[in-house]
Each structure stands twice: as C-alpha cells, then as structure tokens.
C-alpha cells in the first residue's frame, strides 16, 4: 500500500511475520481456551445431571413410597447416629414405636385402597403432632416410629408426646368419604446413654405390645 517502492525491507517483513505469528498464536490459544471452556461447561452440566439422578435414586431408596416418610432402613440409620451422639448422655432423647390397632379390619371392611389412605392420614397426623426436629418414619405395614430429641424432661416429655399422638390419631376424621378414628398403641422408651439402636427399638417394640395386650384385655 506504500507509494514508495521497496518501502519495507527484509527486517520489516520479518518483524511483521513475527507479529503475525504472535497474533495467530494468541488467537489459536484463545480459541482453544474457549473450546476447553465449552467442554468444561458441558462436563459440568453432565456431572450436575448425574448428581441429581443419584440424589433422586438415593432419596427414593430411603423413602416410603406410600407415605413419603423415611423408611425403616433410613430410620434405623438415623437412630444409630443419634444413639452414638448421645453415648454417656442419658435421658436426652426418646423413641416412639407406633402400631395401628385393628388395621386388618379396615382392609377387610373397606379394601386395601382405604387402608393405604389410612396409612397416609396417619403419616400426616404424625408430621403435624411431632416437631420439625423430630424424626418420624414408616417402619413397614402399619408400624411407625419417631425419634424425639432435645428433651428437657425425658420421661415426662416422651409420655406427653405419646399421649398426644394417640389423641390426634383418635380424633374423628373423614378418610375416603368414611368417618373413622385411627386407633393405635404406642410404646416409648428413653435412651439410657448406653443402648444401641437395635436395643432401643426392641425395648420400644416390647412396650408397644404390652400396651396393646392391656388394651385388648380391657
């Protein structure tokens, strides 16, 4: 473009060549960085999808499909963790073991669909009765469990909650168009600061059956 013949000598050409090489290299590196960034974004999206899928399956594996409450395995794992955290600290938390009375009669009289609705109503009532900091789960069949933590007065508090659970479930309610009361037997124990989860569960289960037998005798 110069109006002067041979305005640029070989040194000028070499300088321009060096500048061109440097600019081309910089552009090439920038393009590579952008491509790498796109690949990283795609990889990040894939990882997020994978994590979300894994979390979904993990949640599904720990929840009871009918009631949406934690299932027995998740409850036992939580109870074991709470027992370990309170070793050497007695009377800090309690366990409820809840079994519905005459649940078979509901299925026989109204059908299993009605029985499922009663279990859902029981789960909802337990959520409303227990605190957000408590753990409530469906252990299987018509059995439910609750871990009551942060108790100022262990024995009196757990007994009070057990009575409240019985009262709330026994309150007349309409389930699938049928007015009924949900009767239950509740066994409860206070952690002694030493027992493991299986021991606490066994003790609460035994207390529940004691109450159920006494009720039947009456």
The H-or-E segment that residue 140 falls in is: strand 135-140
Catalytic residues: 142
Task: Please enumerate in sequence order all residues whose Cβ is within 8 A of that of 71, keeping only pairs 6 or more positions apart, or say none.
Answer: 62, 63, 64, 137, 138, 139, 140
d(CA 181, CA 122): 10
d(CA 81, CA 162): 22
User: In a 3-state reduction of DSSP, which class is residue 203?
Assistant: helix
d(CA 187, CA 159): 9
Nearest to 169 by CA among 215, 122, 216: 122
Phi, psi dihedrals of residue 43, rounded to the nearest 5°: -65, -40
> 72-85 vs 197-217: helix axis angle to the nearest 10?
120
50: tokens are 């994978």
């Amino acid at each position: 473009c110069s109006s002067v013949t041979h305005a640029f000598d070989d040194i000028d050409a070499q300088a321009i060549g060096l500048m061109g090489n440097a600019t081309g290299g910089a552009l090439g590196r920038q393009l590579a960085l952008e491509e790498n960034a796109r690949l990283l974004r795609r990889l990040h999206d894939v990882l997020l999808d994978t994590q979300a899928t894994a979390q979904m399956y993990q949640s599904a594996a720990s929840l009871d499909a009918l009631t949406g409450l934690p299932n027995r395995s998740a409850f036992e794992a939580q109870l074991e963790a709470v027992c370990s955290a309170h070793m050497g600290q007695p009377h800090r938390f309690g366990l409820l073991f809840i079994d519905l009375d005459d649940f078979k009669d509901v299925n026989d009289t109204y059908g299993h669909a009605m029985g499922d609705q009663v279990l859902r109503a029981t789960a909802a009532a337990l959520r409303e009765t227990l605190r957000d900091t408590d753990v409530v789960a469906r252990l299987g069949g018509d059995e439910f469990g609750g871990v009551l933590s942060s108790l100022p007065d262990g024995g009196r508090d757990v007994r009070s909650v057990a009575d409240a659970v019985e009262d709330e479930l026994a309150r007349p309610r309409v389930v699938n168009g049928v007015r009924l009361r949900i009767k239950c037997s509740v066994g409860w124990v206070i952690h002694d600061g030493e027992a493991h989860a299986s021991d606490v569960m066994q003790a609460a289960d035994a207390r529940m059956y004691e109450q159920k037998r006494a009720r039947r005798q009456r």
